[in-house]
Structure 1
Amino acid sequence: MTTTPGSNSPSAPAGAAGPGPGPAAAWAGGGAAFAGVLMAVSGLFSVLEGIAALARDEVYLPVGDYTFRFDLTAWGWIHLVLGAVVLVVGVGILKGAPWGRTAGVVVAALSVLFHFLWLPYQPLWALIAIAVGVFVIWALCTDRPGARL
């Protein structure tokens, strides 16, 4: 520690940041920004997934007796609409919109739910989308924008 000329109180060394957010806040802030990017990309992929289901029913595997079985046209519209909403909310998070974090948690939870129901059609992609949704929810719930200032 050094003292500034003319004062008896020690000052922080040159280059030290002083009291501020810890590494956990930095991780959460970076995670929230990454969550916005993931939501935008995931939304775009869901839109494409919906278009594929609407365009050609042969793209996805036929599902046998499944409790949550819907027509592929219905799944196409679900993914198309949900993907567009996820994309818009992801862009809102990246722009720092005040509604973005809350809407992001709600939309990511809906995305996780619908991809769980979509599991028999595309198991690997559904599991990846569920993992992305869980990360997005965690990142948006642990980020505290006021703590980073």
Structure 2
Amino acid sequence: MSTTSSSRIPSGWAFAAVVIVVAGSLDVIWGLAALSDKEYFREGELLFETLQTWGWIYLIVGAIQLGIGALIFTGHGLGAGLGMFGAFVGILINFVSIGAYPLWSCILIALNFVVLFQLATNWE
């Protein structure tokens, strides 16, 4: 019988936390790039709104994902639930804005899907 408390998070959660922090960081970079230099994006290919609006959306979502990643690292059950929701929102905004920078959006969709999958299958 072990007397130590099990404060370790499941390995799937740890992996998901690292990936959501990476995805959140990339979203912040995407947002900053969209706000500062529009020549890298095809603004006319966006489904709606302007590139500046999407830049702010990506900054906000990226910051939230970074916070969720920290919450998942703590092992809190709320972190996993918010992580799945944050990953879903990340997939959604990347899908809707895929016209501005398709390769970047596809990479972020894949990363967010990995987070969603890891958190859903490693629920304890």
Q: Structure 2 length normalisation: TM-score?
A: 0.85
Counterpart Cα distance in 1 of 2:121 and 2:42: 38
In structure 2, the residue matched to 1:51 is 32
Distance 1:144 1:62, change over 3 A: closer
Unaligned runs of 5+ in 1: 1-28
- What's the C-alpha RMSD, in Å, of the aligned pairs? 1.4
In structure 2, the residue matched to 1:12 is none
In structure 1, the residue matched to 2:86 is 107
Matched, 1:95 2:98: no
In structure 2, the residue matched to 1:26 is none
How many correspondences in the alignment?
Answer: 115
Higher RCO (CA-CA < 8 Å; seq separation 6+): 2
Counterpart Cα distance in 2 of 1:92 and 1:102: 10
Give the structure with higher Rg (CA): 1
Of all paired residues, the percent bearing the same amino acid is: 34
**Correspondences of 1:133-148 after superposition (within 5 Å):** 133-145=112-124
User: C-alpha offsets along residues 70-93 of structure 1, whole Å, 9 cap, x if unaligned?
Assistant: 201100000000000001001111
Q: Which runs of 4+ in 1 moved over 4 A?
A: none
State the 1:137 CA deviation. Answer: 0.9
Unaligned runs of 5+ in 2: 1-9
User: C-alpha offsets along residues 17-63 of structure 1, whole Å, 9 cap, x if unaligned?
Assistant: xxxxxxxxxxxx32221110010111111111111111122231242
Q: Which residue identity is paired with 1:43?
A: G
State the 1:138 CA deviation. Answer: 1.1
Work out which of the residue numbers 4, 9, 16 in structure 2 matches 1:35. Answer: 16
Matched, 1:86 2:70: no
SS in 1 for 2:35: helix
In structure 2, the residue matched to 1:69 is 48
